[in-house]
Amino acid sequence: MTVHIDWKQLENSERLPAGDQITLKISDYDEDDVTQFRLRAGGAVNWWKGIEIKNSGGQVVAWCESTAPQIGVAEIEWDDIEGGKIILWKAGVFGIHTPYYDLDVDDHIKEKKLVFRWTADR
């Protein structure tokens, strides 16, 4: 079961319900109808993280993952994700990869580059 969060919580670097902190920077992307997702760990956080991107029917259309210092990247055409969900994963208890947070795909991310930086993990 994931916790639903709002884009503003990430854009404002708010502490999330499970004690995590993820900073999101959004900038224009240079390719029409494509959104780019980038994922990286930061600070003392250097263990596995993932982003699952689903379409409006709930099917996974893209995935990226990162273990510091690697950066995960996925580029998706807007038509494939409009009305979908973004699921943020982390290594939970015993290192098991676990979905923690979900976001609704929103028009404000169309044709943008999104850089997720996981800066605190509890």
What are the residues whose beta carbons fall under 8 Å from the beta carbon of 1, sequence distance 6 or more? none
Q: Which CATH number fits domain 3-120: 1.10.12, 3.40.190, 3.30.390, 2.60.40?
A: 2.60.40
State how far the Cα of 42 lies from the Cα of 51, in Å rounded to an integer. Answer: 16
pLDDT for residue 52: 98
pLDDT value of residue 110: 96
- pLDDT given at position 45: 80
pTM here? 0.94
Whether the CB-CB separation of 39 and 49 falls below 8 Å is answered with yes
**Sheet strands (E) in 1-122:** 3-4, 21-28, 34-41, 49-54, 60-66, 72-77, 85-91, 97-104, 112-120
CA–CA distance, 101 with 3 (Å, rounded to integer): 5
Predicted local confidence at residue 94, as pLDDT: 85
Please count the helices (runs of H) and the strands (runs of E) in the chain. Answer: 2, 9
The pLDDT value given to residue 47: 87
Domain ranges of the chain: 3-120
Tokens 């991107």 correspond to what residue? 53
- The confidence score (pLDDT) of residue 106 equals 94
From first to last of its 122 residues, the chain has per-residue pLDDT tens of 899 999 999 999 999 988 899 999 999 999 999 999 999 987 778 889 999 999 999 999 999 999 888 999 999 999 999 999 999 999 888 889 999 999 999 999 999 999 999 999 87
